[in-house]
Amino acid sequence: MLQHTVQTCIHSDTQLKYLLQLADNALILSHRNSQWCGHGPILEQDIALTNIALDQLGQARNLYQYAALLLTEKTGITTTEDQLAYLRDTGEFKNCLLAELPNGDWGQTVMRNFLISSYQFFLYQELQYSNDGQLKAIADKSIKEITYHVRWSADWVVRLGDGTAESHARMVQALELLWAYTGEMLEPCDYELPFIAKQSSFIKAAWEAKIAAVLAEANLIHPTNDWMQSGGKKGIHTEHFGYLLAEMQFLQRAYPGLEW
Amino acid sequence: MESSLDIDKEKRVWDILETVSDPEIPVLSIVDLGIVRGIELMDEPTSLTISITPTYTGCPAMDMMAAHIRIALADAGFLKVQINQTLSPAWTTDWMSEAGKIKLKAYGIAAPVAKAFNKEYLEDLQMECPNCGSTQTKLISEFSSTACKALFQCKDCLEPFDYFKCH
């Protein structure tokens, strides 16, 4: 009986970390993308990226709401989605480093979105078969949106990679900078294993095939370096992350409990 | 077993919900859009439970629609209304009513052309321009004024127009 209780606790703790990791990736990428609002290269694409940021925020909200519900049930203390998004500090966030890196130029931004959205696509495709009903529902809903994010970002990678000498050079630079951060997404850490241990090699292979196909179409040479940076999933973040949270969390920190 | 009184009441509630519009596309009611997933009548005559589902996860209009549902139902005497948000099954444009599609076109937005969500098609589609009826159109951006629409331009009348994406 005691054994059973302990296992349940471990499981729900792992589940919580897993949900937070998914949510943090969506929120932090959304925040970075939202920083383009009003600064996009042309109006239509400014609107497109802002819409993508909104989708990602919506996905993060669904995941935080679910995590908050589990936490409330577990601890008996009411926890809200806002507390999870706005009152945790750097070490508690579990997003991949790739999501938090600065936007750089438009090329770097669309490349980052392509690398992450493609991963999310294959991941959520698997989560649609999750035996956790709520996670499955969130995956069913999110993948429709992510499908458009992959199309949009892949289109831009091809357009710029196979564009002018200047745009091509920028994309080469973006890929070189971002590549070492892609490995972290693809290698499941301890709290992800119970959820995607069996699927992770398939997700990785599908992601690699998609990336290779689009890079080839974009006339970009596939990177060969395989040393990968990691840390975000364990709460060890880049120096950029504190500044990101300072901006994103300012309102709730300065005016606790403020509602829109 | 539902009494005929309940059926009448339920129809009345659907009629009231028909008057609540999507704040982003005021020509469509929330029923046309397919976001009302169910009505549950309670024993108490002024009590109701309504289930709604978001079109997109980040749709900022959901809270406003819920508020408008409350107001419309309160006006009709339904004072205790519970609104549940459901995620599953995920909303699809397949739920949009035929009447809704006609209203969309009249409003200047091309309605979803395919039945189910198909990933491979968008820029190949020849959309009918809601302004001049030409099918010579091109995709400008897969995202438009809201996440649920794409931006097209007509090659004949040169007018840009929104297309409500299959989802």
Q: Provide the residue-wise pLDDT of chain A in tens; the chain has 260 residues.
A: 333 333 344 458 999 999 999 999 999 999 999 999 999 999 999 999 999 999 999 999 999 999 999 999 999 999 999 999 999 999 999 999 999 999 999 999 999 999 999 999 999 999 999 999 999 999 999 999 999 999 999 999 999 999 999 999 999 999 999 999 999 999 999 999 999 999 999 999 999 999 999 999 999 999 998 899 999 999 999 999 999 999 999 999 999 988 87
Please tell me whether residues B87 and B8 are part of one structural domain. yes
Q: Are residues B78 and B113 in the same domain?
A: no
Beta strands B47-52; B80-85: pairing state = parallel
Query: Using the beta-carbon criterion (under 8 Å), do A54 and B56 form an inter-chain contact?
Result: yes
A136 interaction partners in chain B (CB closer than 8 Å): 88
Out of B28, B58, B91, a domain closes at B91
ipTM field: 0.83
- The rounded distance, in Å, linking the Cα atoms of A44 and A49 is 9
What's at B130, amino acid-wise? P
Residue with tokens 């069996």: A198
Tally the domains of chain B: 2
Q: Chain A contact for B156, CB < 8 A?
A: no
| Residue to test with chain B: of A132, A144, A153, A260, most B Cβ within 10 A | A144
* A40 three-class SS: coil
pTM: 0.90
Residues of A in contact with B143 (CB under 8 A): 47-49, 51-52, 148, 152
User: Is B60 touching A (CB cutoff 8 A)?
Assistant: yes
Residue B14 lies inside a defined structural domain of this protein: yes
| DSSP codes, A132-168 | SHHHHHHHHHHHHHHHHHHHHHHHHHHHHHTS-HHHH
B103 domain residue, yes or no: no
Range of the domain at B22: 4-91
Using the beta-carbon criterion (under 8 Å), do A140 and B60 form an inter-chain contact? no
- Shared domain for B68 and B117, answered yes or no, is no
**Residue B101 CB: number of other CB atoms within 10 A?**
19
Token pair in block for residue A122: 């294959």
Delineate the domains of chain A, giving CATH numbers in brackets: 2-254 (1.20.1260.10)
Burial tier of B117 (Cβ tally within 10 Å: 0-12, 13-18, 19+): middle
DSSP letters, A69-132, are HHHHHHHSS---HHHHHHS--GGG----HHHHS---SHHHHHHHHHHHHHHHHHHHHHHTT-SS
B66: in domain: yes
Contact B89 A140 (CB under 8 A): yes
B80 is a domain residue: yes
